[in-house]
Amino acid sequence: MPELPTHWLRDNCPCAECRDPRSGQKLFQIADLPEDLVVSAQCEMNGNLEVLWSDGHRSRYPLGWLTEAGDGDGRTEADKRLWVAADFRRGLPEAEWEAYLADPAEQAAVLTAVRRSGFAVLRGVPAVERQVLRVAGSFGFVRVTNYGELFDVRVEPDPNNLAFTSVAITPHTDNPYRDPVPTLQLLHCLENSATGGDSGLVDGFGAAAVLREEAPADFAVLTRTPVPFVFRDHGAELRADRPLIDVDPLGRIREVRFNNRSIGTLRGSREELDAFYAAYRRFAAVTLRPELQLTFRLDPGDCLVLDNTRLLHARTAFRQDGRRHLQGCYADLDSLTSTLAVLHRRTAALDAIAELFAGEGAGEYLGEAVTMAEHMLQAAAAAEAAGAAPQLVAAALLHDVGHFQGALRGRDLMQGQDSRHGDSGADWLAQWFGPEVTEPVRLHVAAKRYLCAVEPGYRERLSEASEYTLMVQGGPMDDAQAAAFAALPGAADAVAVRRWDDQAKAAGAAAPDFEHYRTLLASLMR
């Protein structure tokens, strides 16, 4: 073990005293650590490095963690797929709005495209005003500006001058005079019957990389010159002094601002100004190269989402022979990235549940004629057949997840000890699901004890195993217990799940597999 950086190591102590286990936020201050802190003793044990510190604290680090390579925040060129127009010959990164809403995998693909390629197109977003705000809300928060919550880009046909050509708008980023600049832009097409008026995109990181390759001195000038971007109208007066190409402390491209229209008066020596203008003009020429211009048409219902710190967007000229109406708004990349990470967490959770069904789920179910997985899938199918609400289908599907040892380390109910598998399953599921799913799971055992108490003939219909476990679980409720149970807000749902549970022990009965329920489960995850 090579000698490790002392304060770094201690600052990263993962113990619950040093870090909140849920949020990962540190519970001490860096200045609290003694200046003369040293490692008093260390040893490797069971795949961990155990450290005793000179102030008496003990830390345990997984050996693998010590040598992990760092990842980044995904915002520099290092984590992007730089592109030229030809890269999208076979199609744009796109998805149908309904599929995006229903399927987390589809949503994740779209958000990943925005992060990696800088844009994606959603198709079939209802061509109705203000829907663009709904799109923004699906992954983040709208950034309100002086243009309002949203803005309209609208041209009405001019019957007097059908030949009039509205000029092209060359590639640019929006709101460069804002700091912080809105990092995402959304453009939702409501109407586009004009001739022309197509949308263009240029990868600004790609263009900057071309400039660095062809004219490194010009690239350097643009990274080190703060340019005054200005905007002034009746109600606003904005200014931000930022370089055209911003690099991180390691020199990696991190942000491009490019907007001819709003560059104010730069000041400097004649040499500085000549050097800047030569570099600026060269960069502008690169952004205009045809091979970098990706051009496509937005049709009504299309919503373009683009990274405004990276992509330049443009509009081709058009004739005012029809209506063209886009609605746009701004939002931010940090929340989009967060949403994507949470989606990945959910996908990982669903994968873990699917693995339980396929693995341990194939094991026997308390001596019944079905496996655990078959039992739970049959219960879900019964709920679906009964037209149950999605949360109850999910509860039926997952009601016995507390029996899975790998996930829950419960004890074996059939050994005569109540593993409280309703509680342990509900607690585990609460990582992802709300009480509408977890509480019927928690109460499905109590529901059996309740039904035995209040419904004549119910107990007699229980399977042999279920009759055995009834006693381990406390037997039928007494009158007071039954009344208390019936008064619980979730009692009816729990009883419903219980009945599907009881029906789901038929050897060989057909039922959909776990994947059938993935979208339903995903839609219920918090």
Site membership for a copy of itself, residue 163 (CB under 8 A): no
Q: Using CB under 8 A, which residues numbered 32 to 51 contact a copy of itself? A: 33, 35
Strands (E), 136-236: 151-155, 165-166, 169-172, 184-192, 195-196, 199-203, 227-232
What is residue 58's three-state secondary structure? strand
Distance in angstroms (rounded) separating the CA atoms of residues 230 and 498: 66
Distance in angstroms (rounded) separating the CA atoms of residues 370 and 363: 9
175: left (phi over 0), alpha (psi -120 to 50) or beta: left
Q: Are 497 and 393 in contact (CB under 8 A)?
A: no
Ordered DSSP codes for 300-346: TT-EEEEETTTEEEEE--EESSS-EEEEEEEE-HHHHHHHHHHHHHH
Least Cα distance to 497 among 428, 436, 430 occurs for 436
| Residue at token pair 């790998």 | 406
Question: Minimal distance in Å, beta carbon 519 to a copy of itself?
Answer: 20
The radius of gyration computed from the CA coordinates of the chain, to the nearest angstrom, equals: 31
- Only one of the segments 69-77, 370-378, 402-410, 473-481 lies at the binding site for a copy of itself (rule: CB under 8 A); that segment is 69-77
Site membership for a copy of itself, residue 116 (CB under 8 A): no
Q: How many CB atoms lie within 10 A of CB 417?
A: 11
Site membership for a copy of itself, residue 3 (CB under 8 A): yes
Query: Which amino acid belongs to residue 59?
Result: S
Q: What are phi and psi of 69, to 5 degrees?
A: -80, 145
- Cβ-based nearer residue to a copy of itself, 21 or 457: 21
Two tokens, residue 359: 């693995």
Site membership for a copy of itself, residue 183 (CB under 8 A): yes
- Only one of the segments 24-32, 119-127, 379-387, 413-421 lies at the binding site for a copy of itself (rule: CB under 8 A); that segment is 24-32
Instruction: Give the containing element (helix H, strand E) for 353.
Output: helix 333-358
Calculated CA dihedral for residues 282, 205, 91, 72, nearest 10 degrees: 170
Site membership for a copy of itself, residue 185 (CB under 8 A): no
Question: Minimal distance in Å, beta carbon 182 to a copy of itself?
Answer: 8
Q: What are phi and psi of 224, to 5 degrees?
A: -110, 5
- Cβ-based nearer residue to a copy of itself, 135 or 496: 135
- Only one of the segments 68-76, 290-298, 320-328, 475-483 lies at the binding site for a copy of itself (rule: CB under 8 A); that segment is 68-76
Question: Minimal distance in Å, beta carbon 204 to a copy of itself?
Answer: 15
Site membership for a copy of itself, residue 143 (CB under 8 A): yes
Least Cα distance to 364 among 412, 420, 423 occurs for 412
Q: Using CB under 8 A, which residues numbered 332 to 361 contact a copy of itself? A: 332-335, 337-338, 341-342, 345
- Only one of the segments 135-143, 211-219, 293-301, 495-503 lies at the binding site for a copy of itself (rule: CB under 8 A); that segment is 135-143
Site membership for a copy of itself, residue 27 (CB under 8 A): yes
**Of positions 276, 404, 428, 485, contacts a copy of itself by CB under 8 A:** 276
Site membership for a copy of itself, residue 524 (CB under 8 A): no
Question: Minimal distance in Å, beta carbon 237 to a copy of itself?
Answer: 4
Give the x/- contact pattern for a copy of itself in 355-394, rule: CB under 8 A: ----------------------------------------
Q: Using CB under 8 A, which residues numbered 464 to 483 contact a copy of itself? A: none
**Of positions 17, 179, 214, 351, contacts a copy of itself by CB under 8 A:** 179
- Only one of the segments 158-166, 274-282, 477-485, 506-514 lies at the binding site for a copy of itself (rule: CB under 8 A); that segment is 274-282
Distance in angstroms (rounded) separating the CA atoms of residues 26 and 11: 8
Site membership for a copy of itself, residue 317 (CB under 8 A): no
**Of positions 102, 284, 486, 520, contacts a copy of itself by CB under 8 A:** 284
Site membership for a copy of itself, residue 22 (CB under 8 A): yes
Strands (E), 2-125: 39-45, 48-53, 58-62, 94-96, 119-123
**Of positions 43, 217, 277, 362, contacts a copy of itself by CB under 8 A:** 277
Distance in angstroms (rounded) separating the CA atoms of residues 491 and 428: 20
Site membership for a copy of itself, residue 250 (CB under 8 A): yes
Between strands 119-123 and 94-96, the pairing is parallel
- Only one of the segments 143-151, 360-368, 487-495, 514-522 lies at the binding site for a copy of itself (rule: CB under 8 A); that segment is 143-151
Site membership for a copy of itself, residue 241 (CB under 8 A): yes
